[in-house]
Amino acid sequence: MIRNAESANADPSRDFIIETLGIFGSVLADATSPGDVDVVFTARWRSNNRPLPEASYYPFDVSEPTNRVSRALSRGSRRMDLSSHYLLEVERLGAPYRIIWTRDEGYVDRPIITPKKRRSKHVSAMKLPDADAFTDSFRARCASLPPLLQPQAPSLPHSTYQMSHSEWLAILDDKHPVVDLAHCLCLPRGELKEKVSSMVTERFQMHSDLKTEAQKMLNSYLAASALYGEWRWEPAIGLRRTKRFGSPG
């Protein structure tokens, strides 16, 4: 990650410069089995030295400046659980973090910072005097959205290797890239599928060996997910949670 930051800073075609890197979450707490590797960063525009703007958090916009920095930091990483966040986002949550690298000093050992949780400037009590009315409005907007298309169900050859339940769980626990490949394949046609496909393709371009391995496992993983998974598609209501394979009751 630090090498990626240094490489991005040395690349004049990048329109940003990464100033600091840090860690937060379970990694900061020295957890023996951390979940995601949570990274915090600050960055500025190369042209005028001004800080990058905070993300809009629109789920389909992967071209925002902070998202481009995140992709640069994860470039070439074999970890599928690396999660990078802009410092403004972490400070707004009030999450403790520690800076471990700066552009000027390199590796540093700084104390943990616990910022005071801040209210977003986009949402204030003055703008939302009636929380119930806001909730009703949000529900109405959701109800007005067109229904989701049914996820694609690819046909699998009869010769597909039957993966065991323990093998399937191990793939999920390891966050193997075949999970992302299968997710992309099964998404219904639309903007989300196109965005996810683009991100998966970019990751596999860095590691052709991972792509080959994921493609070999794909059919077996899809068959196992249909057999052991918790979710089923019901045309009338969409995705429905079912009892997990092997769970009691």
**DSSP one-letter string for 39-68:** EEEEEEETTT-PBPPPP---TT---SHHHH
Percentage of the chain lying above the pLDDT 70 cut: 74
Q: Are strands 82-86 and 37-45 parallel, antiparallel or unpaired?
A: parallel
**C-alpha distances in Å from residue 41, one per residue of 8, 47, 89, 129, 220:** 13, 19, 10, 35, 38
pTM, full prediction: 0.49
Both tokens assigned to 192 = 């989300």
The model's pLDDT over 166-214, given as tens digits with 9 standing for 90+, comes to 888 888 877 788 888 888 888 877 777 888 888 888 878 877 788 889 9
The model's pLDDT over 158-178, given as tens digits with 9 standing for 90+, comes to 888 888 888 888 888 777 888
Give the chain's domains with CATH numbers. 2-107 (3.30.460), 165-241 (no CATH)
